[in-house]
Amino acid sequence: MLRSTCCIPLCPFTAKQPSFLRTNQRITSDLSSDRFTLRGGGGGGASAVVSSSGLRDLVFVVNPQGANGRTAKEWKKLLPYLRSSLGKDCNVIELLTLGPSHAIDITREAIRDGADAVIAVGGDGTLHEVVNGFFWEGKPVGNLNSEASHLTALGLIPLGTGSDFARTFGWNNDPCEAVERIAKGMRSRVDVGVIDKEGKDLHYFINVADVHLSAKAGFYASKYKKFGNLCYVIGALQAFMGHHNRDMRIRVNGGEWEIYPQVTALCVGNAKYFGGGMKITPNAVPGNGNLEVVVLQDFKWYDFVFKLHKLYNGTHLSVNNVTSRSVQSIEVEEISDSGSIYVQSDGEHLGFLPRKFQVLPGAIDIIS
């Protein structure tokens, strides 16, 4: 059995469980068939036939390349403890991703085949892909299975570089504690953000989406993941090179267009943290049916130097040129329409403005 020393937090932090996290039901298994098949999983892409005779079927989607390969090592150490904790009550299905977007495909098929829960093992990037796998052509995948008598839940074992989403819930970055949550099997409903651009597929996010400087920094940071959380510092420095604030217009909840001059960054939060622990949208609550929008305007490089601590502890809303508002939807365009304003969500580069962001209230059950 794995000793607790094998589960040393990768990025330790502690917090009390937030009040919005209401665990109101246990995960139960009520599958109509005795067996189902998951194709395209780990083990070189071989199919996995899974028995589902009265046990909870838990699909663990593992990104072995996460955190510069550290995820695979930590997962191997965790697996004996996980099997000993869950093996009597659950079918533990381990599926390794083979490349970008593979977790999306694995998740969709697992949900269609009646999995009780799909657990993302890795960082915010793996979680992001798994969340997107809960949807297909603008609809929840679970709704496509007419025989399903329960909803597949989302789970998380944070073993990646950032693991920012877990911070909002007050979860220690300890995989053993995550296994304990999964064993208890309590669920909460959480909102999901959706990003729309005309002519493009819908894209979903569960943590934070952002525009301009922060999104550009995230794009560059993704190239330096081998340096751990230092990648965010490197990405920010590179993004500042040649950066210019831009005039933008926004429309909130389908209302009138508003002009926002000299925007440095615009962040849309379903949860509170991004960039390796920066509390950028401190009023966001991933279960209240709203998104928090924080806009930084006319920031210079030295503003970040002197105010960085406020961005990390969430007190920056009192700073001049920082505004915050709660929305159900927001459309963002650049006035000059240069086509060069970066957009990302949950640390994943999505392209460039314009975009529309909106909330899907209570879209997913999460193991909490």
Hey, which residues are catalytic here? 124
**Are the CB atoms for 316 and 307 separated by under 8 Å?**
yes
Taking residue 289's Cβ as centre, other Cβ atoms within 10 Å add up to 13
Strands (E), 160-305: 186-196, 203-205, 208-212, 246-252, 257-269, 291-297
In 3D space, the residue among 313, 271, 75 whose CA is nearest the CA of residue 169 turns out to be: 271
- CA dist 247 to 40, 194, 244, 302, 313, Å? 45, 24, 10, 20, 28
Find tokens 């007190």 and name the residue: 315
Q: Measured at the alpha carbon of residue 202, what is the angle toward residues 193 and 212, in degrees to the nearest 5? A: 65
Phi first, then psi: what are they for 68, rounded to 5°? 60, 40
Q: Are 97 and 62 in contact (CB under 8 A)?
A: yes
